[in-house]
Amino acid sequence: MNNSTILVVDDQSTHRDLSRAALSGAGFAVETASSGAEALERLHAANIGLVLTDQIMPGMSGLELLREIRRQRPRLPVVIVTAHGTVETAVDAMKAGASDFIPKPFTPEELLLVVRRVLEHQDLVEEVRTLRERVSDPYRFDRIVSKSPKMTEIFEMVRNLADLDTTVLMTGETGTGKELVAHAIHQHSNRRDQRFVRINCGALTETLLESELFGHERGAFSGAVQARRGKFEYASGGTLLLDEIGDISLAMQLKLLRVLQEKEIQRVGGNETITVDVRILATTNKNLEEAVAAGTFRSDLYYRLNVVRIQLPPLRKRREDVPLLAEHFLRTFCEKTGRRLRGFGGDVMSALMEYDWPGNVRELANAIERAAVMAPDEQITSVDLPLRTTSRLGTAPDDLGMNIAFKEGREKVIEEYEKAYLMHCLRRFKGNIGQCAQHCGIDAKTFYRKMQEYDLDKRDFKKSEAFLGQE
C-alpha cells in the first residue's frame, strides 16, 4: 500500500487533531494544514500521497482546494469531509474529481476504512498503468525505446532504485537519453506526484546559476525587485535534475556540496536558512574522474553525486535499437502531423544501421523528422535522408574517391549530390520541370539538361504523391 504522507486539512484544530490521531495510530505519516492555501504549500514541501480536506473552510473551500490540486497534481487522491446530510456537496465533490467522501461526524474506524480503500485503489491504478505500458510496447520504458541488453539492465536498475531517494549520476555522450532516464527515475519514485525540475548548469553564468538554484531576496543585486524562490525550493518534495553538472565552477561546486550535505539553502542576499527536501539527479557528458584528477572538479562533490552511476551507451554501441527507434520516431511524427507514411523503403534501414550517429538518439530523431518532412511519397527513401547518413550506403571508401585525385573525387561527390537533389525535386513536383526549376533557382532549360546528364525521365515521377499536401 502507498506509504506516503496523508495531509489533513481543516480550519478546526480539534478536527485536525482527531483525524491525525486516528491515522497516526494506524501507522500513517500525517501532516496538517489549517487552510487551503497552507495545504497547497504543504504539497510542495512533503511527499503527500493523499489529501483529506474539510469542505467548509474560510477563504478557500474544500471543493476549491480539490480543483486546484487536480490542476497541479491530477493523480493525487483527495477525500472530501462533508457536513452531515449534505448529499449535494458530496455529489459535487465526486464530479470535481474527489476520490471519495466521508460525512461528519465519523468514527476513527470509518475514517480508516475510507482512507485504506482510496489508497488501495490508487495502488491498483498505478499497477495497471505500469502493466499497460509494458504490454502495449514491450520495448518501451517510460519514454525510452530500446531492446538492447545494456538498456534493459538500465531499465531494471531504474525500477530498483527509483523509490530509494538515492542520488544518481548519469553519464554518457550528448544525445544518449540521460534526461529521459532521469524522468523515468522520477516517474517511478514516491515523488512522482511532485515536481520534476531541470536546470542546465552549463548554460548559465556562475552568478545567474547561483540565483537560479538558491533564489534571491529583494534587493540582493541590481534588478532583484522582489524575492524569488530558486530551483531547490521550487522542487522541494520532488526531484531536481542538475544537467551538465561537470560544467560548474569550483566556487559553485562548494556551495552545491554544502546543500547536499546539510539539506539547507540560503537565498542570495538572505540570512534565513531554508530546509529543502529534494532528490538530486545529475548528468554529464564529461569524464568527471579525469576532471577530479585535473583539479577542475571537487572529489568530495564527485563522491556525493556518484552514489549510483548509470552509464548510457552511445547509439553506435546498440545498433539493434536503430530500426526500433526509427519506427518509433516516424510513428510519433505521423501521429503529431497527420501525415500517412507507410515506413521505410529499400536500403534506408541499411543506411541508418551503418551510420555511427555521433549525435546519438537525438540526431536520429532529427534525421527521421527531416526525412518525414521531405518524403513526397508514402515511404521514406534514402534520398529523403540527410546526406551524411547515406554517404556510405552501397559504397566502399574507394567509391567515394578517397584513393583518387582530389579534384576527381570532389567532382564524383558533387555528381552524386546533384542527382539525388534532382530526383527529390522531381518527386516533390511530380515531374513538373517548370516548378522544379523555379524551386532550384535555375531556368527550365538548365534543369532539363541536368536531367539528361543523369539519365532522368520526368515520366518516372508523374505518379509521385503531392509533397506535404501540394498539388
**Cα 273 to the center of its chain, rounded Å:** 31
| Grid cell for residue 79 | 477525500
Asked if the model's pLDDT at residue 415 lies above 60, the reply is yes
pLDDT tens, 100-116? 989 888 999 999 999 99
Asked if the model's pLDDT at residue 178 lies above 80, the reply is yes
pLDDT, position 450? 87
pLDDT tens, 449-459? 888 888 888 87
Selected residue with higher pLDDT from 141 and 179: 179
Asked if the model's pLDDT at residue 82 lies above 90, the reply is no
pLDDT, position 130? 59
Q: Look at residues 413, 377, 384 and name the one whose alpha carbon lies nearest to residue 397.
A: 413
pLDDT tens, 348-382? 888 898 888 999 999 999 999 988 888 887 888 88
Selected residue with higher pLDDT from 413 and 301: 301
The stretches of 162-249 forming alpha helices (DSSP H) are 178-187, 206-214, 231-234
Q: What are the phi and psi torsion angles at 432 (to 5°)?
A: -80, 105
pLDDT, position 183? 93
Selected residue with higher pLDDT from 160 and 137: 160
pLDDT, position 343? 86
Selected residue with higher pLDDT from 94 and 291: 291
| Distances, alpha carbon 138 to alpha carbons 147, 158, 313, 327, 344, in Å | 8, 16, 20, 14, 22
pLDDT, position 121? 86
User: Are the beta carbons of 200 and 209 closer than 8 angstroms?
Assistant: no
Do 5-129 and 317-461 agree at the fold level?
no
- Render 75-116 in DSSP notation, one character per residue: T--EEEEE-TT-HHHHHHHHHTT-SEEEESS--HHHHHHHHH
Confidence of residue 80 (pLDDT cuts 50, 70, 90): very high
Selected residue with higher pLDDT from 142 and 29: 29
Alpha carbon distance 156, 139 (integer Å): 13
Asked if the model's pLDDT at residue 54 lies above 80, the reply is yes
Domain spans of the chain, in order of start: 5-129, 140-313, 317-461
Q: Which residues pair with 228 in a beta bridge?
A: 216
pLDDT, position 425? 84
With respect to CATH, is domain 317-461 assigned 3.40.50.740?
no
Per-residue H/E/C for 394-408: CCCHHHHCCCCCHHH
Asked if the model's pLDDT at residue 90 lies above 80, the reply is no
CA terminus-to-terminus distance, the chain: 59
pLDDT, position 453? 84
pLDDT tens, 213-256? 999 988 888 777 788 889 999 998 899 999 999 999 999 999 99
With respect to CATH, is domain 140-313 assigned 3.40.50.300?
yes
User: Are the beta carbons of 392 and 353 closer than 8 angstroms?
Assistant: no
CATH topology of domain 5-129: Rossmann fold (3.40.50)
pTM of structure: 0.60
